[in-house]
Amino acid sequence: MSQITMKELAKRLGTSVSTVSRALQNHPRIGLKMREDVMALAKELNYSPNTTAINLKKQSTKNVGVVVPWLTEQFFSMAITGIEDILFEKGYRVVLQQSRDDFEREEQAIQALMKHGVDGIIVSMGSGTYNHRHFLEVNRKGIPLVFFDRVVKSLPNSCVYTDITQASFEAVELLLNKGLTKIALLNGPNTMQSSNERLMGYVNALKLHQIELNPIYIKTTDLSVEDTVKKTHELLDLAVPPQAIFAFHDYMSLDAMQIAKERGLIINQDIFFVSFSNLSFCKYLEKPPFASIEQFPYEMGAKAANLLVDAMKKPDDYVREEVIIRSKLIVRV
Amino acid sequence: MSQITMKELAKRLGTSVSTVSRALQNHPRIGLKMREDVMALAKELNYSPNTTAINLKKQSTKNVGVVVPWLTEQFFSMAITGIEDILFEKGYRVVLQQSRDDFEREEQAIQALMKHGVDGIIVSMGSGTYNHRHFLEVNRKGIPLVFFDRVVKSLPNSCVYTDITQASFEAVELLLNKGLTKIALLNGPNTMQSSNERLMGYVNALKLHQIELNPIYIKTTDLSVEDTVKKTHELLDLAVPPQAIFAFHDYMSLDAMQIAKERGLIINQDIFFVSFSNLSFCKYLEKPPFASIEQFPYEMGAKAANLLVDAMKKPDDYVREEVIIRSKLIVRV
DNA sequence: CTGTTAGCGCTTTCAC
DNA sequence: GTGAAAGCGCTAACAG
């Protein structure tokens, strides 16, 4: 199926390619009749422009690469929905890649995108990412890059995130205000900035309420179910087990809750869970985690997309922006 | 940041662009020293080819469009993961669009993809899609297209799906074998082929077990939560309410279950639910829907991607394939 | 108002 | 083995 080109249109109309081009893009300096003729023939022949050629000419692809750890995590699929909505309306397309929290894969994805030619990139970093050379490479190439959620604040790129420290503080304080003092932290890996911020919020809250920090209540995990299960058992095996667990996210809360239930504990009575995510399906649970932090992923994605669009518009006088989306603590019970 | 081009490499090496091109792609008829020199300089200058130019030349973009109703539905995010895995390894990139079960949007998405230039398209149709003109257009343009899950069997495109009728039959039979006879069907819209197939499976099972079909037990919905709620109430308001509900998918089961619970019914005792999807988070429920049909979305996506890759390889002698992925009824209780 | 011309960056005959 | 040249489809000065 040989696509019909402007050359063909020009030939049939006995005119030149440039005239056809101008007519098609409603250039002012073009005769009315000619414009109409061209338009008519184009429609008749079902002409559609070759975007690749335009891309080559314009040095842009109207493609934006998006790299997230897991599409299957609700947080990310909602964020991508926000990204897609903004980008689509601005004429961009989303090229998607998952890093699966694996450094190698993330690097591969970024390289593929650069090689493939995208006008910009939006990234939420994987938990396994221990260095930033791929991002530096993107910056070196002058491709606009925006981070969201799992960001790198030390890089000169704009980023969108929630104040994890503050949100963590509020979550832990909620528990403290309930009179609970033995609160455990079931965290992500130390390598993740957001794990450290959770820790800070946790520490701050305890400090403010003059509860002594007990290191045995602090566990890090690699975010896997197995590790969550293991560390939860460790916590519940303690001589004085925690009354509440502040977990990395709802997925972790849910897995930890299963363990607690198996061990005969009653949720929201013997033990309380709070975490990030505010997963929608928790509403179907008889006993949902006590509270959760809503991070508004759709809005975060949309904001990141908007920042990227700005950056792509004016690659020269690019101003780094750091946008903090205010999270909200949702008490479920 | 002006990217470095082959022209630049050629200039610096005092050779021609064509030689550089050949050296870079390990053309046989090229001097060893020259090849090494070119390679070395390319590495040094961090040369990377302009994919758009290659695309224009090769008349292909290595981009594949994927259109699904909702990214946030686990079924689709898993399918896309399968698609992405296969496509990435074959050197293709996934361009993602969501139709949100809206015909206009689906049409827009398909058009944007065609215009944008993709080598192929994978689609799972939206529930609101009432005609196929956009697919016909894709076919007319000779762009390979493969359907999965929500397919159009009457079109000449390959497709991958589960045997909904058979799976529905098994699901309903499971209930019948439990001695339940008053079974309702909470279906999707009539416009969806897969709704009709569910209905057929339902009818077949009842017939085989010589249970008379009672039309008041059959409800269609537009898949929205509101409509699900409404129709569930209608069913439970009946003089003789159903003992079991076969719902479109787990999301619908869950919403319907909420209503049943609110009305004081005990799940898996007073009323049983079965549906499609086998959502992973149901494992966290005290009382999950009684059974669910696992459709192996990852495998479906992967298979669809493989079919598309084949179709893109040999656009001429294209053979339509219809692949049926065997589903599995998972009894949860 | 319209045609000519020169590319965008790369591949690929066709010569030498 | 290497270079010159054409061309993928389109845009945009530059001349009329």
Q: Is B153 on the interface with A (CB under 8 A)?
A: no
Taking CA–CA distances from B71, the nearest residue in chain A reads A77
Dihedral (Cα; A105, A111, A117, A119), 10-degree rounding = 80
Tell if the CB–CB gap between A285 and B287 is shorter than 8 Å.
Answer: no
Question: A225 or B31, which is more confident?
Answer: A225
Question: Residues A301, A305, A307, A308: is their CA dihedral positive or negative?
Answer: positive
Closest nucleotide to B22, Cα to C1':
C11
Using an 8 Å CB-CB cutoff, list chain B residues near A77: 71-72, 77
pTM score: 0.92
What lies within 8 Å, CB to CB, of B272 at 6+ separation is: B175, B178, B180, B243, B244, B245, B290
| Angle subtended by helix axes B133-140 and B103-116, to nearest 10 | 10
* Interface probe with B: pick from A89, A93, A95, most Cβ of B within 10 Å: A93
Question: A187 or A13, which is more confident?
Answer: A187
Q: Is B3 on the interface with A (CB under 8 A)?
A: yes
Split at pLDDT 50, 70, 90, the class of A86 is very high
CA distance B190 to B267: 28
Residue with tokens 């249970």: B211
pLDDT of the residue at A2: 63
Q: Convert the pLDDT of each residue in B183-226 to its tens digit.
A: 999 999 998 999 999 999 999 999 999 999 999 999 999 999 99
Q: Does A165 score more than 90 pLDDT?
A: yes
What lies within 8 Å, CB to CB, of A8 at 6+ separation is: A45
Closest nucleotide to A29, Cα to C1':
C1
What residues 205-264 of chain A have any CB closer than 8 A to a CB of chain B?
A: 254, 257-258
Q: Is B286 on the interface with A (CB under 8 A)?
A: yes
Query: What is the β-pairing status of strands A322-325 and B120-123?
Result: unpaired
Listing from the earlier edge strand, what are the strands of the sheet with B291-294? B218-220, B183-187, B244-249, B272-276, B291-294, B328-331
Rounded to 5 degrees, φ, ψ at B139 are: -65, -40
pLDDT of the residue at A1: 47
* A43 CA → D14 C1’, Å: 30
Q: Is A43 on the interface with B (CB under 8 A)?
A: no
Question: Nearest CA to CA, how far is B21 from chain A (Å)?
Answer: 16
Split at pLDDT 50, 70, 90, the class of A318 is confident
Taking CA–CA distances from A4, the nearest residue in chain B reads B141
Taking residue A314's Cβ as centre, other Cβ atoms within 10 Å add up to: 10
What residues 63-92 of chain A have any CB closer than 8 A to a CB of chain B?
A: 63, 71-72, 74, 77-78, 80-81, 84, 88
Closest nucleotide to A59, Cα to C1':
C8
- Count A/B contacts: CB-CB distance under 8 Å: 121
pLDDT of the residue at A102: 93
CA distance B163 to B198: 10
* B54 CA → D2 C1’, Å: 22
pLDDT of the residue at B2: 64
Q: Convert the pLDDT of each residue in A249-292 to its tens digit.
A: 999 999 999 999 999 999 999 999 999 999 999 999 999 999 99
Q: Is A115 on the interface with B (CB under 8 A)?
A: yes
pLDDT of the residue at A31: 84
* B327 CA → C7 C1’, Å: 56
- Mean pLDDT value across residues A110-116: 89
CA distance B5 to B48: 8
H/E run at residue A185: strand A183-187
Rounded to 5 degrees, φ, ψ at A35 are: -55, -45
Q: Which nucleotides along chain D are within 7 A of a protein C-beta?
A: 1-13
Query: Splitting chain B (333 residues) into consecutive groups of 10 residues, what average pLDDT does each group show?
Result: 82 91 88 89 90 89 95 96 95 94 94 90 93 93 94 94 97 97 96 94 98 97 96 98 98 97 97 96 94 98 97 84 97 90
